[in-house]
Structure 1
Amino acid sequence: MAEFWRFLERSAEETTDPARRLDWLAYRLSRVSLEHIVDFQVHLNAARRPIDTYAIWGAADQIMDGLCSGDAFWYFQPWLIGHGQRWWHHVAQNPDNLADLPAVRALAGRSPREWADADWPHWEDLAYVARRAYDYSTGREGGLDEALDARGHRMYFDPEPTDQPWDSDSLAEIERRLPRLARLFPRHHRRIV
């Protein structure tokens, strides 16, 4: 897992552009053994688990002004992972810590309607970079799924939060659970409970 984080963080040192980072990751992954490509996917999936919670989903929803659907949260997770182990761990400890992340702070004070596509907190394609490298390395599609199955690794493709749901539409709950995000991203149109 430590190598996974070093590799991912190294890609951010090479470039901050998400598409170029993906190209860098895919190229480098395609040059290692198939076993290591599978390891990357396994570690990426493992990194999702601690942040696949209703608590973090509610925080992402607060940032996105109520626009964080299941798909949006699924794409938010690799975006957060892409910021590196330090930020991932910081947010996993407390979802309100998203308020410390510079990329989140840069969104404050603007409506999501004003965000450029590159500003949105999502990075769906990171979830497919190992598949891309595996297909390139083997010259055929679908091999990564077979390799994961052979390891007994279960892939999941939608959020499966591991904690109790909460009312992320309630201003009182938001202010209690996410006080810093509530100040950065006020949601006045929500009902107060």
Structure 2
Amino acid sequence: MSRDTFWALIQEAKAACDQDMDAMEEYLCGALVRMGPAAARGFHNILHAYEDLAYQYGLWDAASVIKEYGCSDDGFIDFRAWLIAQGKDVYLNALKDPDTLADVQPYGECCFECLSYVGDHAYEQLTGRSAYDEMDDALPALREELGKEIVYKDGIEYPREPKDLPRFLPRLCEKYGGPERFQVEPAAWNFDLHEIRRLLDEGKAHDRAAKKEKGGGVR
């Protein structure tokens, strides 16, 4: 399955089912069964490659802003599936600038867990085998190929403390609680984890440098 066929199928299902995620899951599974095992396995692989490519802390922060009670590890997996279900333009725009999600209507708690499994379910119906068992070898090259079309927002790879989010995600923060929410909201990240602390510090340094470059000075 090509990336164009993948996104066309997502768009077709979205147009037919709108925000009904159960109906969209059923629609996609039925379509993939009709298309055959190669298509089902290809859909599964492409979807998971796109989920991997969207594993960016800046997008995770955006998901935490949208979801009132934050976004767990599993919740972020399901959020990325939900994001893919919104279509190619929304997906690519969100990676280019997560703040564009302020223009997207949230529904279903912005979680679409079942979408991650739909290709596997169709493949298993057709072959009796799991698409997961045949996925790992294909993913690195697929991620590299699909990633060529993605433009990431500068600094999207870093997590941020709540007080810094209104600068990185101004429209989302204004829409979901206003800047005041993020002055008192507890941090979503576990600062005791060395990797998270390192990335937070690197992100702060990145943002200070970016602000200075734009002529905003450093506080």
| TM-score using structure 2 length | 0.70
Q: Which residue of the partner structure matches residue 151 of structure 2?
A: none
Per-residue CA deviation, residues 154-181 of structure 1 (Å, 9 max, x unaligned), is 7xxxxxxx96432333x2x111101111
Aligned residues with identical type, % of pairs: 25
Query: Is 1:50–1:92's contact at 8 Å kept on the other side of the alignment?
Result: no
Q: Which residue of 1 aligns with 2:209?
A: none
The CA distance in 2 between the partners of 1:127 and 1:15, in whole Å, is 17
Counterparts of 1:24-173 in structure 2, within 5 Å, are 24-101=27-104, 103-104=105-106, 119-138=108-127, 140-142=128-130, 144-149=131-136, 151-153=137-139, 164-169=157-162, 171=163, 173=164
The number of residue pairs the alignment matches comes to: 168
What are structure 2's unaligned runs of at least 5 residues?
141-154, 188-219
Aligned mates of 2:81, 2:40 — CA distance in 1: 17
Give the residue type in structure 1 aligned to 2:122: A
Q: For 1:90 and 1:126, locate their aligned partners in 2 and report how far apart those are by CA, in whole Å.
A: 20
Aligned pair in 2 of structure 1 residues 84, 66: CA closer, same or farther (>3 Å)?
Answer: same
CA 38–177 in structure 1, closer or farther in 2 if over 3 Å, else same: same
Q: Which has the higher contact order (CA 8 A, sep 6+)?
A: 1
Q: What pairs with 1:8-19 in structure 2 (closer than 5 Å)?
A: 8-16=10-18, 17-19=20-22
Bigger drift between 18-27 and 42-51 goes to: 42-51
Larger of the two Rg values belongs to structure: 2
Residues 1:135 and 1:84: Cα distance change in structure 2 (over 3 Å): same
Does the 8 A contact of 1:57 with 1:68 survive in 2? yes
Structure 1, unaligned runs of 5 or more: 105-117, 155-161
Quote how far apart the aligned CAs of 1:191 are. Answer: 5.9
Q: Could you report, residue by residue, the CA deviation over 1:50-99 in whole angstroms, capped at 9, with x for unpaired residues?
A: 32100000010011134201111110001010000011111111011110
Higher fraction of helix:
2
Give the TM-score normalised by structure 1. 0.78
Question: Which amino acid is 1:122 matched to?
Answer: C
